[in-house]
Structures are given as structure tokens and as C-alpha cells.
Amino acid sequence: MHQAPRPMPPELADKLLRFFLADDRLEEVLGDLHEDYRWQVNRVGERRARWRYWWDAIGFLKPWTLKRTINKYPTPTNTTMLRNYLKIAWRNLIREKGYSTINIVGLSVGMGVAMLIGLWIYDELSFNKSHQHYDRIAQVMENQTLEQGIQTYGALPLPLSQELRTQYASDFKAVAATTEFEQIITYQDKKFTRFGNFAEADYPEILTLRMLSGNRQALRDPGSVLLAKSTALALFGNSNPLHKLVKVGNRYTLQVAGVFDDLPHNTSFKNVTFIAPIKLLFESSEDMDNWRSSSFAIFTQLNPGSDFGHVSQKIKDVFRKHTQDKAQSSLFLYPMADWHLYSEFKNGAYAGGRIQFVWLFGCIGLFVLLLACINFMNLSTARSEKRAKEVGIRKAIGSMRSQLIGQFFSESFLFVATAFALSVVLVQLVLPTFNEVADKQLIILWTNPIFWVACLSFSLLTGFLAGSYPAFYLSSFQPIKVLKGGAFRVGRFASLPRKVLVVVQFTVSVTLIIGTIVVFRQIQFAQNRPVGYSRNGLINITMNTPEIQGRYDALRNELLATGAVSDMAESSSPITNIWSSANNLEWRGKDPNRPAAFGTIAITPEFGNVVQWKVKEGRSFSRQFSSDSLAFLFNEAAVKLTGLKNRNGGPPVGETIRWHGKDWKLIGIVKDMVMTSPFEPVTPTVFMMNTNERSLNVIHIKLNPVLSAHDALSKLEPVFKKFNPASPFEYKFADEEYAKKFAAEQRIGQLASFFAALAILISCLGLFGLASFVAEQRTKEIGVRKVLGASVFNLWGLLSKDFVTLVLISCLLSTPITWYLLTNWLDNYEYRTELSWWIFGVASLGALAITLLTVSFQSIKAALINPVKSLRSE
């Protein structure tokens, strides 16, 4: 009988289902589909039936039908197996002590480093977050387009604050101008020099100070002061500070109207130890309406619903409306969230800041952890030959692959758990030192759930990373091959992944070594920069009390009479900083639309002698010429900026500069002095004798080199006490102040070298383990070679050669990486060292030496073994 060919449903759809559907479903579903198909063919024809078939098949790809393991048998108790895994893992751990130690030490150091860095990053990222309205606070900043490019300033005139408060009340919840001071605070016989603020009334509100007594609004009363808890405690001990009278700067007697909790270490305001009303700084309300003096920081808190970008646009031109001489200036809001990590501006836009360090350390932490994981993987796979039999037997007697994977993972998790416990102990031990180096107050966040979640996930991740390779690799062995007896041989390329991992490790290590060398060289380079003055025995004393101001000449005479002082001068800024600037100088040939910014410093004529600067052209100030009160000295940078030349094309001594409606005569040019950042170009600076323009704040004293600094200072103290009995005698050495400029870089350098050392340690641990494994594996070969007459040196070379090759490859690889990274980093600095080839050479040689040291121990040990022993077993 003839039978028409049966219409067959689409095979591809069946394949799809076979692939995706759970096994226990497949039969029934396919059966139903096929049956349905035939029914549909009769009903709607073959073409549409096929279409429907597809449509239905896809309909089955739902979560409830998808492939998953369904346990057909009741599981006895899952913990039984887990207990068994752990027991075996524990026995393995105990049996192979050396190997376990290397792994656990490596892992715990890696995890410890990662944890430290994690804490550090957490601290950096949570900077300022303790302020309640963190996301709505901003500082008002100004961008000025100047000859040098766009410069960003945070110092603004006081009336701007009032203007913003009243004209833009719908956007700002609070606006407060403030200025920071170091002042002497006195109560009865107790005196302290403290940093604090003179601020407008909204300031405590913006900072959301936690008041312990009194209230935040107290600054509206101009006779009041708020103290931080620590200040109050220092002044009053346990007695109630409220309503007591304290003297601030020996000038203002103020009533304590409130005590606020100390600000946490990680905020931009950690220095605030007292807050006094800003009105105290002014004698009249007209003084307070001066748009020309920009010396206040203005902080704002936005209303909910206003956003920074929008408000920035609105207030852009507020300042310019009130001043005529600023050609190009615009205001913008600088959100608190960016203050700490994005603190550098270049051409009016963010140019990074600490965020770079966060990234840098984040990468280092990850890499160090990765190195530790690599060790684990390498050692496990290296030992795979040993464990191959175990795997074979287990498989032969019916272990499923998933069980073996479970076994290996539980081993790695046991390692990780032990390492984690150790790493917590390590971190706890290292934390005090780390805090000192990093200038932080980190603690292990025992009570913070985020910390535990992070630790748990990072342990799991480490366990997974470290265990994945052994688990999947070892469990893939074919029992038949392994058990055939000695026939199991890892193929030619079996050790390739291991080699790649070693290369990765050493690339990271060498990169870190080179990075550390360059960071330190850059610091060295900047420290050795010629500063243009002499720091020897140079101290400065800030005058923050009225007693000294005005009696300077008498003070000078008495100090010189002690013999401890070789000379002394006054100026408006310390030698290591420039406190004021001007951008409204006019000179011949200047483009009137491009203002240029100069540092401005008022000095007394002895200043040059005290700091021992070098006058390159013309002459310095002198008391003999009364006309010098309208004279300028330029530094070389200022000459360059103005482009001034005299008629003959020579140095512009004798030129006239117009400033504040007067003609100033340029009488001399001094050699550049590094007064601001040693990494930046020298600030163009104008020196003047005129104290109406800039007031004198700092006394510079050159100590007599004949006496020791200690003796000299002990002679100075009584004189200062006599003139200024109310103040503590506080001085700063210029060289110490200068050294502080490198603190940030130094800190980074120290931390980086610390981490680099640990990275190398971890890599070497891994290498040590691998070398011991290789030596063990080749024991017989070595025995044979020895018998045939190989020398110890031969054998040592044989065993070390492979590792040396790997490390050499790492050195080659790390060179372009470090070259790229470090060139980028150095680009941040105007004054920077060059990357020279020898650094790469030294780092490579260093890495090589360390490798040889590590490997030699094992290879020499192996080479010295008596061949009788190693060959006896056969």
C-alpha cells in the first residue's frame, strides 16, 4: 500500500528544544509537539503548521522548562558531603605544610593589602559625607581668563555673599562667607593657637554642626563664639563653657555661645576648632561692602530641587556686574562631592586630583590580590600530577565531575577562610603604622555591614578566582589516562598557562618597582630644585596679635642685641607661600583685555638680606630712598610674563607700572624663588615696600649661624615674651615648611613602595613554591645527570634558566606599560624629572636578582641531593 511521506516538523526547532529543555521534560514536550503538528497539518496545512510549531517551540523556552539539574533522588543531607569535602581539604592542608604555608601567607598578605586599600578608598570616597546636606553644598568659585590661561579661585569678596543670599533666595537655602585663621585663644592663663573661622551666621548651618550645647544660630550675635568640643575641653576642662568669656587673637573678647562636636577627620573642615562672627574683622559696615578685596570663601547650600549646573549658569555674571576691571570672570558652584577627589583645575575645568591616587591604589590592590590568586592557581596546577591519581581513582569509583569541582572549591575556600582570618589580624597590626604613613585615621569597620558584605564577597571572589583553575582543570582528567600507570604526562603546553601567570606576576611587580623608583626620583628632583634663597637657619613667626604690630623696630633692635639673630625682616607672606595676588597691573604694551595674575608681597628692605636672594638687575629696596614706597621689584617670572624690555631691549629696570591708580617704578629684578609649589613654574611675583597695599604679617629671622638653633631660639623666646606676653612663642623653620610641600608625594611614594615590596614578596613566594615543585619533579633527572657527571653549577643553571627567562620576558613587557603610565603621571608636574633608561635596567636587574635568590635556594638544594637517595626507589 502506498503511503504518503509523513510531514515532518522542523528539525531545527527540535534541536533548539533538545539543547535548552530540561531532560525530564523533553520527551513529553517533543511528543506533544509532534502530535500537535500532525493535527495542525490536517487542520491548517503544512506551511502554517510549521510556523505554529516554531511559535510553540519558542513558547516552551520559559524558566520553568529550562535546563536545570533536578535531583531525582532525595539528597541524604547535603552537609554530610560538605563535611567530607572540608575534612579532606583539611587533611590536604595539613599534609603539605610547606605548600599550605606559601599559599596561606601569600593569600593573607594579598587580602590584607586589598583590605587596607579598600579601607583607604572607602575613607577617601566617604570624605565630607558626614555633612548632612553633602549633596547640596557647594563652594562658589571664580574662573578668571588671564594672560596665563583660565585660573580658578575660591577667594571672593564678602558682599557677594549678601548678594547671593538676597537675590537668589529661591535657589540657596543658606549662603555663608568665611575666612580661616590661626588665632590664639585665651581663657585666664590657658592659651592655645588654633585654626578656626570667622564666618557668617549660616556657616554652622551649612556644615550641619552637631551642637552639644547652645545653638547653631548663635553667630548672629557679634559678641559670641562657638567652640569645638576639643577646644572647650582644653580651655575649660570639665566646667561648663557656656557664657564664659574667651579672648580670640588677644583682640576680641567673646562669649561662648555654643559647643559643637569636633568635625570628623575626613572632612574638609577638620581644622575648624572655633567659629567667630565675621563682623569682628571689620570696623564699619562700609568696610564690609568692599567688592575689591577677594579674601573670603563662600559656601552655599542649595534648596532641594535646585541643581548645581543650573544655579551656576544663573550666578555666572553676578560678580562681574559689580566690578569693572575684570575682563573675563565667571562664577560657578563647586559641589562638595568633588572637593576632595577633584581638587585641581586646569583652564577652568576639573583636572583630577586625589581621584588619581584612588585609581592607582585601587589597581595596586587588585593586582596584589590577583598575584596571590595566581600563586594559588599555579601551585595547585603544578601539583596536579600528584593529585592526578586521586582524581582518577575518585572518578573510577564513581565521583561525578561536579563533586570533584566541589572538592577543589571547598579546598580553596578553606584556604581563603584561613587566609582571611589571618589577614584581618595582619591589618589590625599594620593599621597604626599605615595610618601614620597615610595620614589617616582608618579603623577596621567592625560594625559596618558594608565592610562585612565587602569582605565576604571579596573572600568568595578570591576563593572562586583562586580555586577555579584547579577545580576545572584537575577535575577534567580522564581516569583512564591517569590510571594507566605513569602514562599520564602533561602535554608540551600544559605548563604554558603557569608560565603566562608567572610572567603576569612579574610584570606587575617590575611595574611597581619602576613606578616606585620614579615617584621617589621625582620627589628628589623637586627637593633638589634650586629655590633661589637660603633656608639655613631661617625661621618665620606669624604675627597674629596687635601687641607686636607697630613695635617692630624696637623688637628688631632687641633681637639683634641678643646676638642670636643675624638679621630680621617683615613681609606679608611667609617665604614658603604667597598669600595675596593682583591681576590689575598695567604696563606699556599690555593687552588691556587680558589681565595677568601676579603674586604680591610687601617686604621691609632687610628681607633680601634675610632670605639671601639674588638681585639680578637694578637694586633692592632701601630706606634711603623715600621714593621706594612707590617702587616694585619683579622676579624673573614676572618680567617674562609682562614681556617688558627697556628701550635698548635689555632688562626693564626703570619702567613704570600702573596699579591702583598710581605709577610704580620697577627698580630691580630678583632671581626666581620657589615660594609656592616646587612642582609648578615659579609664580610671577611683585615685591613692594608699600604697607598700605599689603599689610605685614610675618617676621623672618635669620639665626646667627655661630649658635646652634636651639641656643638661638632660647635667646629669642624671652624677647618675644616681653613684647608679646599674651602669646605662646611659635616659630616655623623655613626648611620644614618647605619639606611639607612634598608630604603628599612622599606619602604616595611610601605607600607605593610598601605595596610594591609586598607584591614582590607574594610573587617570590609563588616562585619559591614553583621552583620547589620543579626541583622535586626533576629529582630523578637530576640524580641521573649527577651520576653522569654534571656539576652543581650546571644543575643550578638548568633549574634556574626557565625562571630567569620568564622574568626577563616580564621586564620586557613591563617597560612599555610603565613608560606609558609614568609619562602620564609626570605630565601632571611642570617641574619634573626625566624617565631614563637606567631605571628600567636597574629594576629589571633587581627583579632578576630577587628571582635568582628565590630559585637558587631550591635548585641548589636539589642539586646537592645525593643521587643514591633520589635514584634508589627504582
Partner 1 sequence: MKRSYLGEFEEIVLLTAAVLELQGQAYGVAITHEIIEQTGRSVRLNQIHAALDRLEDKGMVKSEMGEPTAERGGRRKRLFTVTAYGRRTLQEIQEVRVSFWSRLLNPLNSLGFGALG
Q: What is the DSSP letter of 576?
A: T
C-beta of residue 145 within 8 angstroms of C-beta of residue 327: yes
Q: Could you tell me the smallest distance in angstroms from the CB atom of residue 12 to partner 1?
A: 16
Phi (first) and psi of residue 347, to 5 degrees: 50, 40
Provide the Cα torsion 791, 795, 797, 801; round to 10°. Answer: 160
Q: Could you tell me the smallest distance in angstroms from the CB atom of residue 408 to partner 1?
A: 36
C-beta of residue 667 within 8 angstroms of C-beta of residue 653: yes
Q: Could you tell me the smallest distance in angstroms from the CB atom of residue 304 to partner 1?
A: 45
Judged by CB, which is closer to partner 1: 32, or 182?
Answer: 32
Q: Could you tell me the smallest distance in angstroms from the CB atom of residue 479 to partner 1?
A: 34
Q: Which long-range contacts (CB under 8 A, 24 or more apart) does 613-617 make?
A: 613/532, 613/533, 613/670, 613/671, 613/673, 614/532, 614/670, 614/671, 615/668, 615/669, 615/670, 615/671, 616/651, 616/668, 616/669, 616/670, 616/671, 617/651, 617/653, 617/668, 617/669
Judged by CB, which is closer to partner 1: 30, or 146?
Answer: 30
Pairing of strands 656-659, 137-146: unpaired
Pairing of strands 137-146, 732-733: unpaired
Judged by CB, which is closer to partner 1: 60, or 525?
Answer: 60
If you search the block for the grid coordinates 550645647, which residue do you land on? 213
Q: How far apart are CA 477 and CA 408, in angstroms?
A: 13
Q: Could you tell me the smallest distance in angstroms from the CB atom of residue 64 to partner 1?
A: 6
Q: Could you tell me the smallest distance in angstroms from the CB atom of residue 27 to partner 1?
A: 5
Judged by CB, which is closer to partner 1: 37, or 607?
Answer: 37
Phi (first) and psi of residue 289, to 5 degrees: -100, 30
Judged by CB, which is closer to partner 1: 17, or 177?
Answer: 17
Q: How far apart are CA 24 and CA 70, in angstroms?
A: 8
Q: Could you tell me the smallest distance in angstroms from the CB atom of residue 488 to partner 1?
A: 43
Alpha helices, DSSP H, located in 650-729: 709-723
Judged by CB, which is closer to partner 1: 39, or 359?
Answer: 39
Q: How many CA atoms lie within 13 A of 647 on its CB side?
A: 1
Q: How far apart are CA 103 and CA 415, in angstroms?
A: 8
Neighbours of 728 (CB within 10 A): 13
**Residue type for 523, please?**
I
Judged by CB, which is closer to partner 1: 36, or 344?
Answer: 36
Phi (first) and psi of residue 298, to 5 degrees: -115, 120
Judged by CB, which is closer to partner 1: 33, or 405?
Answer: 33
> How far from 840 is each of 11, 66, 310, 502, CA to CA, in Å?
62, 56, 50, 19
Q: Could you tell me the smallest distance in angstroms from the CB atom of residue 69 to partner 1?
A: 18
Judged by CB, which is closer to partner 1: 56, or 745?
Answer: 56
Pairing of strands 345-346, 631-635: unpaired
Judged by CB, which is closer to partner 1: 49, or 756?
Answer: 49
Q: What is the DSSP letter of 613?
A: -
Q: Could you tell me the smallest distance in angstroms from the CB atom of residue 74 to partner 1?
A: 18
What residue ranges bind partner 1 (CB under 8 A)? Answer: 27-36, 38-39, 55-56, 59-60, 62, 64-65
C-beta of residue 157 within 8 angstroms of C-beta of residue 292: yes
Q: Could you tell me the smallest distance in angstroms from the CB atom of residue 16 to partner 1?
A: 13
Judged by CB, which is closer to partner 1: 31, or 841?
Answer: 31
Q: Could you tell me the smallest distance in angstroms from the CB atom of residue 15 to partner 1?
A: 14
Judged by CB, which is closer to partner 1: 19, or 446?
Answer: 19
C-beta of residue 378 within 8 angstroms of C-beta of residue 770: yes
Largest CA distance in the chain: 137
Judged by CB, which is closer to partner 1: 26, or 865?
Answer: 26
Q: How many CA atoms lie within 13 A of 605 on its CB side?
A: 13
CA 423 to chain centre: 22
Query: Is the Cα torsion angle 672, 677, 680, 684 positive or negative in sign?
Result: negative
Q: Could you tell me the smallest distance in angstroms from the CB atom of residue 20 to partner 1?
A: 13
Q: Could you tell me the smallest distance in angstroms from the CB atom of residue 48 to partner 1?
A: 13
Judged on CB neighbours under 10 Å (0-12, 13-18, 19+), 489 is exposed
Q: Could you tell me the smallest distance in angstroms from the CB atom of residue 35 to partner 1?
A: 5
**Residue type for 407, please?**
Q
Judged by CB, which is closer to partner 1: 4, or 94?
Answer: 4
Judged by CB, which is closer to partner 1: 60, or 632?
Answer: 60
C-beta of residue 502 within 8 angstroms of C-beta of residue 766: yes
Q: Could you tell me the smallest distance in angstroms from the CB atom of residue 33 to partner 1?
A: 7
> How far from 252 is each of 230, 236, 240, 245, 281, CA to CA, in Å?
21, 18, 21, 10, 10
Judged by CB, which is closer to partner 1: 24, or 289?
Answer: 24
Q: Could you tell me the smallest distance in angstroms from the CB atom of residue 66 to partner 1?
A: 12
Judged by CB, which is closer to partner 1: 55, or 793?
Answer: 55
With CA atoms as reference, report the closest residue to 815 among 523, 524, 521, 506.
506
Q: Could you tell me the smallest distance in angstroms from the CB atom of residue 75 to partner 1?
A: 20
Rg, Å, the chain Cα set:
37
Q: Could you tell me the smallest distance in angstroms from the CB atom of residue 77 to partner 1?
A: 25
Judged by CB, which is closer to partner 1: 60, or 408?
Answer: 60
Cell of 216: 547653631
Give the contacts of 157 (CB within 8 A, at least 6 positions apart). 290, 291, 292, 293, 294, 295, 296, 319, 322
With CA atoms as reference, report the closest residue to 639 among 587, 601, 689, 581.
587
